[in-house]
């Protein structure tokens, strides 16, 4: 299935890079909702492509007509959608996928090529219901506990994972290659911790290492886990991918989840990458990525590794994960593949064809009573 280039780039340019890295967050802070309400989220994504070269080039339909589509889950419901090309409404179809569905704008009138200085603008808008109370109910223990290490007595052991391990959620991939020598060396170090005799303890040990050894830093294309180790740097998906590689090395089911987070109506963030060929505007919120891991007996929990501004990472990465406390729309679950390589190749292709891509992400959320 085709993946929109803007989504590949957003895996590196998450809202956490601008929001959590530069905005003063804290318990009860300005942006944190931390409420049991449900929300209606209005998510708008607009993509424009302009040919800045001196010759016509093939029209990049995957960037213009393909958009990520929110998942329908027990705590998230898509109520409506609309799509447009150059401000005119158009029909669309949904390419269903359990993990990463896409909305495809249907249009047979687009030209095959984009002429010099020509621009095409496409976009989508979604209305999505997000039930935060249901999400929070799955981690009540972490909300109540002052320190997650207090939960180790209640935590399940390694044998509790035996029925969940399979290649999709525990196997090595091109990104989560836990056989890489540097990853293996770090695993050896982490498993020496006394807390690592249970999956939860091992996760907390990983978070401690991340806090002590990895600084927040953006790079497009993203970093592989071993690059995060060497550079001691990474943004939200970089750090999440390292955590997933470390978890999978010990048979802990885990994957990368991607979504759009509402922060505040006044939130604004802009970023330019790839020598000006990719630019972004985030309004009200933006894209984010985090770890989803199976930790017995709680099951699937979300882990947000870029929240150290809130306190010690083991204490806040689960309790204050944006998935749980902000109106967050989930659009993709990544189990395999190599979007890092795909991003690098797409950037070079766009540069060669002189195509500039500009993305505007706008997120608004409205509280509603159950």
pLDDT in tens, 104-115: 999 767 888 899
Cα end-to-end distance, the chain, whole Å:
37
Q: Tell me which residue of 52, 45, 46, 65 sits closest to 111, measured CA to CA.
A: 65
The answer to whether residue 231 scores a pLDDT higher than 50 is: yes
The answer to whether residue 27 scores a pLDDT higher than 60 is: no
pLDDT band at 59, cuts 50/70/90?
confident
What is the per-residue pLDDT for 273?
A: 80
Which strand (E) or helix (H) includes residue 225? helix 225-231
Radius of gyration of the chain (CA): 20
pLDDT digits (tens, 9 = 90+) for 154-187: 999 999 998 888 899 999 999 999 999 999 999 9
The answer to whether residue 3 scores a pLDDT higher than 70 is: no
Higher pLDDT among residues 55 and 32, named by residue: 55
Q: What is the DSSP letter of 73?
A: B
State the DSSP string of 176-191: S-TTSHHHHHHHHHHT
The answer to whether residue 11 scores a pLDDT higher than 80 is: no
The answer to whether residue 147 scores a pLDDT higher than 90 is: yes
Q: Is the pTM of this model over 0.75?
A: yes
pLDDT digits (tens, 9 = 90+) for 201-212: 999 999 999 999
Question: What is the domain count for the chain?
Answer: 1
What is the per-residue pLDDT for 24?
A: 35
Percent of the chain past pLDDT 90, that is, above it, reads 66
What is the per-residue pLDDT for 126?
A: 98
Range of the domain at 354: 5-368
Question: Average per-residue pLDDT in the chain?
Answer: 88
């Amino acid at each position: 299935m085709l993946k929109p280039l803007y989504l590949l780039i957003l895996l590196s340019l998450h809202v956490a890079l601008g929001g959590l890295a530069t905005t003063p967050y804290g318990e009860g802070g300005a942006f944190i909702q931390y409420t049991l309400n449900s929300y209606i989220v209005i998510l708008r994504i607009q993509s424009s492509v302009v040919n800045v070269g001196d010759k016509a080039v093939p029209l990049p339909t995957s960037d213009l007509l393909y958009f990520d589509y929110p998942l329908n889950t027990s705590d998230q419901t898509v109520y409506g959608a609309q799509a447009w090309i150059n401000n005119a409404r158009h029909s669309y179809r949904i390419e269903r996928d359990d993990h990463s569905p896409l909305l495809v704008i249907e249009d047979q009138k687009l030209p095959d090529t984009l002429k010099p200085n020509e621009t095409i603008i496409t976009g989508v808008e979604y209305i999505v219901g997000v039930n935060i109370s249901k999400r929070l109910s799955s981690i009540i223990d972490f909300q109540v506990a002052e320190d997650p290490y207090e939960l180790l007595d209640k935590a399940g052991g390694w044998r509790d994972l035996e029925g969940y391990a399979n290649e999709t959620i525990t196997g090595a991939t091109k990104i989560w290659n836990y056989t890489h020598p540097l990853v293996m060396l770090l695993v050896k170090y982490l498993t020496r911790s006394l807390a690592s005799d249970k999956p939860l303890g091992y996760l907390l040990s990983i978070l401690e290492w991340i806090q002590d050894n990895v600084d927040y830093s953006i790079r497009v294309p993203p970093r592989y886990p071993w690059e995060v180790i060497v550079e001691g740097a990474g943004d939200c998906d970089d750090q999440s991918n390292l955590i997933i590689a470390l978890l999978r090395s010990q048979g802990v089911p885990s994957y990368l989840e991607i979504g759009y987070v509402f922060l505040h109506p006044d939130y604004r963030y802009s970023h330019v990458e790839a020598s000006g060929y990719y630019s972004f505007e985030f309004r009200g919120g933006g894209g984010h990525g985090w770890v989803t891991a199976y930790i017995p007996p709680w099951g699937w929990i979300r882990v947000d590794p870029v929240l150290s501004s809130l306190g010690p990472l083991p204490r806040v990465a689960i309790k204050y994960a944006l998935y749980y406390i902000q109106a967050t729309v989930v659009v993709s679950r990544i189990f395999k593949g190599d979007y890092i390589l795909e991003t690098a190749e797409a950037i070079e292709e766009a540069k060669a064809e002189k195509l500039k891509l500009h993305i505007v992400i706008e997120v608004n959320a409205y509280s509603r009573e159950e």
